[in-house]
Amino acid sequence: MNDALYKLEKSDSDIDELLRIHKNLVYHMLSVTGQLQNQDAESAAWEALWDSLNTFDVFSKNAFSSYACRCIYNAIQQVIREQGKIPIEIMLEDEFVQYDETIAEEASVNRVETYFKQYVSTKRGTIRDVLLTWYSSSFEMSQKALSARCRCSISYVSRVQQGFRAYLSGKLKEG
């Protein structure tokens, strides 16, 4: 592992070296989401990698690549939403599940809302604030905006979101 990742004050040359080392994360996530030919998505992915290099919590138990992949994935999905394209696949717990278009959207939205209310009722403090703020934006608010609004780190927001996604995935698999 390159020690530049753990510097609090990274120089431009450190950032350039880290971008070069971790460029495969960008192309991996573009490939996984089927956006290799989408230049806007590639640009957003590179920006997300740069942001993740600068916002990574070095004291986190998560690996940098896990954090960066989540940031890159979210950036790519934001571009897809802005372009009005419907993603073919959705990610739950690092598994890609084919989206079944025959499921009534309204019923699935109600299930997610029900599971969200159950989950958030067990949370307190900053975790609850992050979840409720995210929910109030229809799960559209970026991690950066959430962290600014709730006064916490982006990596903390990511962990809170991942906790809910894991819970939701388990509930959806139960049936």
- Residue 99, pLDDT score: 43
Between 106 and 137, the more confident residue is: 137
- Residue 4, pLDDT score: 56
- Residue 101, pLDDT score: 43
pLDDT at 47 over 70: yes
Q: What top-level class would CATH report for the domain 3-87?
A: mainly alpha
Structure tokens at 113: 């809302």
The whole-angstrom separation of Cα 12 and Cα 37 is: 28
Between 139 and 99, the more confident residue is: 139
- Residue 87, pLDDT score: 47
Q: Region 42-64: what's the mean pLDDT?
A: 84
The whole-angstrom separation of Cα 110 and Cα 153 is: 30
Between 34 and 7, the more confident residue is: 34
Structure tokens at 54: 């600068």
- Residue 1, pLDDT score: 46
Residue from 160, 152, 169 nearest 128 by CA: 160
pLDDT at 160 over 70: yes
* 32-43 confidence digits (pLDDT tens): 888 888 889 899
The residue extents of the domains of the chain are 3-87, 105-174
Q: Region 19-45: what's the mean pLDDT?
A: 87
The whole-angstrom separation of Cα 79 and Cα 40 is: 7
For β-strands 89-92 and 95-98, DSSP reports them as antiparallel
pLDDT at 70 over 80: yes
- Please report, as a single letter, which amino acid is at residue 39: Q
The whole-angstrom separation of Cα 151 and Cα 125 is: 12
pLDDT at 100 over 70: no
The whole-angstrom separation of Cα 99 and Cα 31 is: 18
- Burial class for 139, CB neighbours closer than 10 Å (0-12, 13-18, 19+): exposed
Centroid of chain to Cα 90: 12
Cβ atoms of residues 17 and 4 within 8 Å:
yes
pTM of the model: 0.47
